[in-house]
Chain A
Amino acid sequence: MNISKKLKENIETLKSILKDCDDIIYRKIEIGDKDKTKACLIFVDGLVDKSLISEYAIQVLLQCTESKDNMNINMIKTNFLDRISAESIAVHDVKEEEDLDKIVDEILVGETALLVDNCKKGLILSSRGWPTRGIAEPETETVVRGPRDGFGETMRFNTALVRRRIRDPKMKLKATKVGRRSKTDIAIVYIEDIVNEKILQEVMKRIDEIDIDSIGESSTLEALIEDDYLSPFPQIESTERPDAVAASLYEGRVGIIVDNTPFALIVPATLGTLFQSTEDYYSRWPITSVIRIIRIICAFLSVLAPALYIAISSFHPGLIPTVLTFYLAASRVNVPFPVVIEAFLMEITIEILRESGTRIAGPIGSTIGIVGGLIVGQAAVEAGIVSPLMIIIVAITTMASFALPNYQWASGLRICRFAFMVLAAVLGLYGIMLGVVILFAHFAKLKSFGVPFASPYSGLGIKEGDLKDTLIKAPLQRLRFRPKFTFPRDKKRM
């Protein structure tokens, strides 16, 4: 819908489109001292920087007089808007707009529209300014050493945090909007001469194809663009650390920053990258190498530990040393349930404890911790409901699960644990191995934006030395080339 010449009509239309939106403010003013021209500033209360609008737009416009300008009145009439934007308005970004619908969109984003009588154009003043949380430390990915800034809820600030780390004109930032109603801002970030074209195009294509009314959080976007939505495992990495995004861009991956959430997405993700944490690159290499291997052991433990306990104690007591078998049997004498029930009881208790601890933070959270710890730790054993060995197994499993750097990935494995426990209860060690091969097969099947998910363990990049930065971490001097799995165009790092 095009803008009309009469200011009154324009305001009427705007009011009809934005009917019952009481947070919209229409500030009517008159410009000039002799030939008074009517104008109106329209903006959403709360989304705009009020001091900016009142000081640099309203005040300046009110003081603008023809006599001071010493200009031909007709010229003012014809080029009125150009003149105001060039000489009067002191806002950093101003653009013209003729389409009323687009003006509405801009107003809802947090810009201010300036409509002037007898003008076939409107001015959009950049005035976004809403209450933000400021830069805080990322809560889910803390580091001992390393930068402490984390993403916030505003996309523009987040892109700035990434840009600060990559001062390269080749770092590109493409903005789009997704969601018919939410019109969520999304920025696709990449380094042009490193990223592989095909991965980038795949990302663009998938985001373009999205047709949904709203994007709640980056997880919504993730669910819409990932390769296999039935899988329990994430095929896209999410992080709230700008340094993680920057480092990934240098590896030739693509970052997707979504408005309204501190979690940015990184694609493609592989088994190798899911075991990496940003702090790996801030610590010394032997320590990181050991930690990486421990993480892989943890992944296995978090899936297999209770299942192995079930299998060994109910199917193959002969597998473990005789002394341990006797101890195991003795500790279970008072337990009235079969091992499977015992294991499920404890695992579910831990899940409840974890869930309640996550939702309720602060002082009540610690209460839950103490209560849960007491119940799980001591009372259950003393009451003879579970055996002490089971407690140890459950504790190890839980700790192992939280030792993994990627929470989503750890959660996927945690869910698999229950399937493994059932398998172990039915088919013993054979059942566990069956589960392991199916899990491996699932990894082999998965892809992340055309990149095999199981890389580098499934072959891609093994010869090029990708294992040096996934299974272990070699010293920086030995990591001269970017990882192969992203098929980077510029392979050399140093």
Chain B
Amino acid sequence: MVAVGGAEQMVLSSDAVLSSDARWEMVDRLTRQTVTYGTYKRTLGDVLGELTVKPLTGIPVAVAALFAFWSIFCSFAGALVTDGFMVKLFDAHWLPWLQSLWPDPASWHYFVFVGDPLADNCFEAFGVLTSGLFVSIGVVLPAILIFYLMMTVLEDSGYLPRLAVLVDSVLHRVGLHGYAIVPAILGLGCNVPAVTATRILETRKQRFIMMSLLAIFIPCGAQLGVMLEVIPDMVGMVFLCLIVGFCLFGYILNKVIPGENPEILVDVPPYHWPVKENVAKKLCNRTKGFLKEAVPFVLFGVLVVNLLYLGGVIQALAAFFEPLFVTWFGVPKETVGPLIAAFLRKDLAIAQLSVIPMTAYQMFASVVLISIYFPCVATFVVMLREGWKELIAALAVLFVVVFAYGGLIHAIGILLGVA
């Protein structure tokens, strides 16, 4: 091959293996001869760096930052783009145009691609080209875009490691350490890169706990976008439920799973101004990734679900699972269809829920259920890449958690008299 010369020279120095102390000694002597430190004046960045990591000032800043993150996300994705522009575009122009153009409203292809001929909005039509396109482009795309923009700024400024230090005390008790905040926040965008990001955790136990909790309790950007659109008033409650579940089951998993839970040990890098080009490039790549991977999935998901409806498969499954869903989780049997769709895309399933007549509690319970239910197919695939044993174990955990937590929420609902 190429570096033949290099391979032969290897023999000369291959016996020179040092102890780590000897290496450090050499490092010190090398740096003493080549590096000089001048007198350094603290900059504004350093002061800010310290303020944001000290608990007294850092915790309020973290709360404020996350709240700002959330409100910008809601107002931009939910109110401004989707309600202000996309809904009008899709409902007033796209849907009537398609309905008038597509031949034969009674045919199977009308049902699959356009959906309900009487629908007056794109959420309820449920065809591939109506709801499918509306959900992916009109609802999810703006959410993903603004989420990644803010996420990139958080990443590039150097705030994440400081946040990790601040939340470490909590996360260490659920079997992780503060740095798990990185996959957790990435997961709010998309679970796929988040699963790979669990590699920054040290032990298999930590990675397993994080992966399971990620798949179960962290809703992805697509789900968030749809939730904002369908149940804007309940998103806070759903989040609370998910966070409580995250901590509760994290605590249990930490106790049950053998293995070590090492403490945090990380660099806290100095703040940088995010470089404009880098932010733009990252945003562009991630959005492209979404358009390439998620949009076809949504369209395909609607297609499959509609075909299953046409074939009567979903109706049969719904009849079969009805007792379970109605008695154990307290949700109507119509939710079975969306739950099957949820395996293909969770965001899609939440959109489907919106057309089923339900009480507020039932709506809430089914959204939580879908959020903690199976991760989407893409997440499955990346989890498999991290190890099939972990995947199977994570699935087992998932079943237990869905039943236990779903039942628990139902029980609380009954106690409060809303279920």
Do A and B form a real pair?
no
Residues of A at the B interface (CB closer than 8 Å) are none
Residues of B at the A interface (CB closer than 8 Å) are none
